[in-house]
Amino acid sequence: MSNTKKKKSSFLNLLKTINRPKYRDLDISTNNMNVNWEHIPELPLVGDTLTITGSTDPEAKVKVKVSFEKKVPVIDGKYEYNMDKVEIPDGPNKFTIKGRKAKDLSFSVKMFITYTRTFEANSDEAVYSEENVPSGKYDISIHGQAKEGEKEVTIYLEAAEIIDADNEGKFTYDYNTAALPAGDFNLLVGDSDRKITLSAAM
C-alpha cells in the first residue's frame, strides 16, 4: 500500500475514532416489535425530502434502511457512477456498496481530502462496506474495471441507520432524496419493507 493510501485510510479512521462515543450498535433486533409507518409525499420527486412518521414500542430503537440498484454502462472496460452531496446524518450508520459483473470496485469520497478504497471482486461481485461514517455532505464516486466482455455493471447501494422512538413510541425521520436516481428504491423501517418510486424532478 502506498503512503498516500495509508494516510487516506488513517484519516477516516481518525474521524471515526473521534466520533465513536456517539455511535450505537446497528444490529438492533426487531423481533416481535410492531412498527407502523407512513411517508409523505406519497409520490416523491428526486430532491424531495421524504418524511417518515410512525409508531412502535416506547423508546425503541428502529432501524431504517434505504437500498437501490443502478445499471452503469461500461466504457473502455471501465464503469463509473457519481453521487453528489450525499447527506450522512449524525449517529450510527452503515453503508454497503456492491459492484456486480465487476473485476473490482473503488469507492472515493471527498471529505477534507479524497479518501479512496479499492476491493477486488470475489467471483462475480465486488463489495465495500463501512460503518459509522462521520456526518456531513460528501461527493461520492463508485468506479472500477468491469469483467471482460460486460456492457454494464450493476451498482447496489444500501444505507442503514438507527432512529429513536420517544416515550410514547412515536418517531419521525427525514430522508433527503437528492442523491438518489429516479426509479424504484426500497425503504425498510423496522421489519416493514416497501418499494417507493422516485420520479425525475420537473
Is the confidence at residue 65, as pLDDT, over 90? yes
Residue 19 has pLDDT above 70, yes or no: no
To the question of pTM greater than 0.85 for the whole model, the response is no
Predicted local distance difference test score (pLDDT) of residue 48: 95
Question: What is the extent of the structural domain holding 110?
Answer: 3-198
Largest CA distance in the chain: 56
| Residue the block writes with cell 452503515 | 94
Average pLDDT over residues 80-91: 85
Q: What is the DSSP letter of 133?
A: P
pLDDT above 90: residue 16: no
Cβ count within 10 A of residue 45: 13
SS3 86: strand
Nearest CA to 71 out of 116, 108, 102, 106 is that of 102
Integer angstrom CA distances of residue 93 from 8, 20, 44, 69, 87: 20, 11, 24, 19, 12
Within the chain, residue ranges assigned H as helices are: 3-19
Residue indicated by cell numbers 470475489: 122
φ, ψ for residue 148, nearest 5 deg: -60, 130
Which tops the pLDDT comparison, 101 or 124?
Answer: 101
Q: What is the pLDDT of residue 28?
A: 54
User: How far apart are the C-alpha atoms of 101 and 74, rounded to whole Å?
Assistant: 10
Convert the pLDDT of each residue in 47-63 to its tens digit.
999 999 999 999 999 99
Count Cβ neighbours within 10 Å for each residue of 79-89 and write b for 16 or more, e otherwise: bbbebeebebb
Give the Cα separation of 125 and 98 in Å (integer). Answer: 7
Please write the tens of the pLDDT for every residue from 139-157.
Answer: 899 999 999 999 999 999 9
Q: Tally the domains of the chain.
A: 1
